[in-house]
């Protein structure tokens, strides 16, 4: 191929690389990111139904359904569901969050339709056999107990429960041992009938797939879903007043989680908080918390800042684990770091570096086709849109110093911070 033809082909493909979006007649939204000559293809179903949509007696049900979908359909037993993808070296998996249930498959491009068909089968035709459901209860109970043995993980759930006490958003995604043991196949069917609506589903894909073929396959496997009635709106989450709670635990380390209610997905300052959280305690070794607490003072091997937005609220938090004797000093150093960001305006140079770092991390994360596919489904559920990398970079570049200081004074205000300590 000549140089000119190659350049023209590259320009055409660059145009085709934009996202393809459409909506099926039954209301399911679909989104595709075509890739050229990709070695893998990824498909996922994102459902706008998670643990915060459970009724009080259903705690852990959304996650329980995620497990139970793989336990048999009208034409396949559990073994055949898993073997259908495993036999061609593909991956079939699922996960549950507070607001979504996601089922996805990754495979060689020639097996893309196979993954889509399996996901459609378990979503539309699962039978939830009582014998398999009974076994899965024990599996999830083991999962809960394993989670309870990991304080660095369980402290996040306990913090959310403290922040949103007696509300669906505050409940543990896994549920409790008691609630899980009480779940039945009838509960599963009731929840699916109540929450699994085509208008609350997104089919997303990344790979060397033609747009026309993708739409035809989506119609082939998911068109039998009927629209049904609209789902009931979620209860608005209301954060509690700031609390400080200490839980005595028989552990070598102390664990601290300090945080507050933060911005929802659509808040205008949400991008600034994403950037500031990454600058403060993101994965880079030169984050403010890592440099000033771990490197300078030699304490808190694990320390990070995180921000989790939801449809109507969000949570900003800082986690650290350290020697019990150093807990008080560690918390004091964290609070001093937050005060610096509240009181000292970030320089233009520092803000520029923070933006460049975040953009680099974001671009690297998007190289994984599966991650991008999952992000597409989440973006449409949460924001009703998808953004190109260039558009996201424009948003990041537009963040101002004044927005950073506003976010810091709002989210790092010591009068708003709650604290949970395992010690």
Do 194 and 281 sit in the same domain of this protein?
Answer: no
| Per-residue pLDDT reduced to its tens digit, 108-140 | 999 999 999 999 999 999 999 999 999 999 999
One domain for residues 252 and 304: yes
Distance CA 206, CA 71 (A): 27
Please give the pLDDT value at position 229.
80
Contact 421, 247 (CB under 8 A): yes
Q: What is the dihedral of CA 295, 297, 301, 306, to 10 degrees?
A: -80
Does residue 158 share a domain with residue 41? yes
The pLDDT of residue 200: 96
pLDDT of 366? 79
Q: By three-state DSSP, how is residue 371 classified? A: helix
Model pLDDT, residue 251:
86
pLDDT by residue (tens digit) across 206-249?
Answer: 999 999 999 999 999 999 999 888 888 898 999 999 999 999 98
Contact at 8 Å (CB) between 82 and 91?
Answer: no
DSSP string spanning 208-237?
S--HHHHHHHHHHHHTT----SPPPPPPPP
Place of tokens 């660059």: 14
How do strand 253-262 and strand 418-422 relate by DSSP bridges? antiparallel
Q: Is the pLDDT of residue 347 over 70?
A: yes
Same-domain status, 218 and 299: no
- pLDDT score for 5: 41
Residue 45 resides in a domain = yes
> 264 with 202, same domain?
no
Q: For residue 260, what are its two tokens?
A: 């507050």
Phi, psi values for residue 236, rounded to 5°: -70, 130
Checking if the pLDDT of 397 tops 60, the result is yes
Task: Tell whether 291 is covered by a domain.
Answer: yes
- Has residue 328 been placed in a domain? yes
DSSP state at residue 239: P
338 occurs within a structural domain: yes
User: 170 with 211, same domain?
Assistant: yes
End-of-domain residue from the set 187, 222, 257: 222
Q: What is the mean pLDDT of the chain?
A: 92
Residues paired with 21 in a beta bridge: 31
Supply 379's token pair: 């973006």
Q: Can you tell me the distance from the alpha carbon of 337 to that of 373, in angstroms, rounded to the nearest whole number?
A: 36
* Judgement on whether residues 327 and 385 belong to the same structural domain of the protein: yes
Residues composing the chain: 423
**Does position 14 have pLDDT exceeding 60, yes or no?**
no
Q: Would you state the structure tokens that stand for residue 122, as one six-digit string?
A: 């378990």
Region label for 280, one of left (φ > 0), alpha (ψ between -120 and 50) or beta (otherwise): alpha
How far is residue 390's CA from residue 371's CA, in Å, rounded to a whole number?
A: 17
Residue 144, C-beta contacts closer than 8 angstroms, at least 6 positions apart: 174, 175, 176, 177, 180
295-318 tens-digit pLDDT: 999 888 899 999 999 999 999 999
Q: In terms of Cα–Cα distance, which of 133, 270, 123, 268 is closest to 200?
A: 123
Using the 3D structure, point to which of 162, 188, 222 is the last residue of a domain: 222
For residue 411, what are the domain limits?
244-422
Is the domain of 300 the same as that of 203?
Answer: no
Q: Is residue 350 part of a domain?
A: yes
Whether 9 shows a pLDDT value over 60: the answer reads: no
**Considering the domain boundaries, does residue 235 fall inside one?**
no
Residues 270 and 380 in one domain: yes
Q: Are residues 20 and 79 in the same domain?
A: yes
Structure token digits, residue 367: 């190289």
Position 373 pLDDT exceeds 60? yes
User: CA-CA distances (angstroms) from residue 62 to 94, 259, 333?
Assistant: 12, 26, 39
250-294 per-position pLDDT tens digit = 888 999 999 999 999 999 999 999 999 999 999 999 999 999 999
**367 falls within a domain:** yes
Same domain assignment for residues 203 and 126:
yes
DSSP 3-state assignment of 198? helix
Tell me: do 58 and 189 sit in the same domain. yes
Closest by CA to 94, choosing from 73, 128, 123, is: 123
CA dist., res. 106 & res. 89, Å (int)? 9
Confidence of residue 3 (pLDDT cuts 50, 70, 90): very low
CATH of residue 196's domain is 3.30.830.10
Pairing of strands 302-309, 244-247: unpaired
Q: Per DSSP, what are the bridge partners of residue 206?
A: 33, 42
* Secondary structure of residue 366 in the 3-state scheme: helix
Indicate whether 228 belongs to any domain: no
The number of folded domains in the chain is 2
């Amino acid at each position: 191929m000549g140089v000119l033809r190659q350049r023209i082909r590259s320009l055409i493909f660059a145009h085709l690389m934009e996202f393809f979006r459409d909506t099926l007649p039954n209301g399911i939204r679909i989104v595709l990111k075509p890739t050229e000559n990709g070695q893998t293809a990824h498909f996922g179903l994102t459902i706008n139904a998670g643990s915060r949509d459970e009724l009080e007696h259903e705690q852990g049900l959304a996650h329980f359904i995620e497990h139970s979908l793989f336990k048999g359909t009208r034409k396949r037993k559990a073994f055949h569901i898993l073997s259908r993808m495993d036999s061609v070296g593909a991956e079939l998996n699922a996960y549950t969050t507070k607001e979504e249930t996601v089922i996805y498959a990754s495979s060689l491009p020639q097996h893309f339709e196979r993954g889509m068909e399996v996901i459609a089968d378990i979503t539309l035709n699962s039978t939830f056999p009582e014998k398999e459901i009974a076994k899965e209860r024990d599996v999830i109970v083991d999962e809960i107990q394993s989670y309870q043995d990991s304080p660095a993980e369980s402290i996040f759930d306990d913090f959310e429960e403290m922040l949103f006490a007696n509300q669906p958003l505050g409940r543990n995604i896994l549920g409790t041992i008691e609630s899980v043991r009480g779940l039945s196949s009838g509960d599963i069917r009731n929840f699916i009938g109540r929450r699994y609506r085509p208008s609350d589903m997104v089919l997303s894909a990344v790979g060397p797939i033609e747009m026309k073929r993708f739409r035809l396959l989506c119609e082939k496997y998911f068109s039998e879903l009927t629209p049904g009635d609209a789902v009931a709106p979620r209860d608005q989450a209301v954060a509690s007043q700031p609390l400080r709670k200490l839980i005595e635990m028989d552990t070598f380390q102390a664990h601290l989680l300090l945080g507050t209610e933060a911005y929802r997905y659509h808040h205008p300052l949400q991008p600034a908080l994403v950037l500031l959280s990454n600058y403060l305690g993101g994965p880079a070794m030169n984050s403010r918390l890592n440099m000033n607490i771990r490197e300078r003072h030699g304490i808190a091997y694990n320390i990070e800042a995180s921000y989790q937005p939801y449809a109507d609220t969000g949570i900003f938090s800082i986690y650290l684990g350290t020697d019990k004797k150093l807990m008080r000093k560690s918390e004091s150093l964290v609070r001093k770091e937050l005060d610096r960001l509240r009181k000292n305006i970030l320089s233009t140079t520092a803000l520029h570096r923070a933006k460049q770092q975040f953009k680099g991390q974001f671009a690297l994360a998007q190289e994984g086709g599966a991650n991008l596919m999952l992000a597409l489904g989440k973006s449409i559920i949460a924001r009703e849109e998808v953004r190109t990398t260039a558009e996201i970079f424009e948003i990041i570049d537009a963040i101002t110093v004044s927005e950073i200081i506003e976010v810091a004074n709002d989210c790092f205000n010591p009068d708003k911070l709650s604290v949970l300590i395992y010690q």
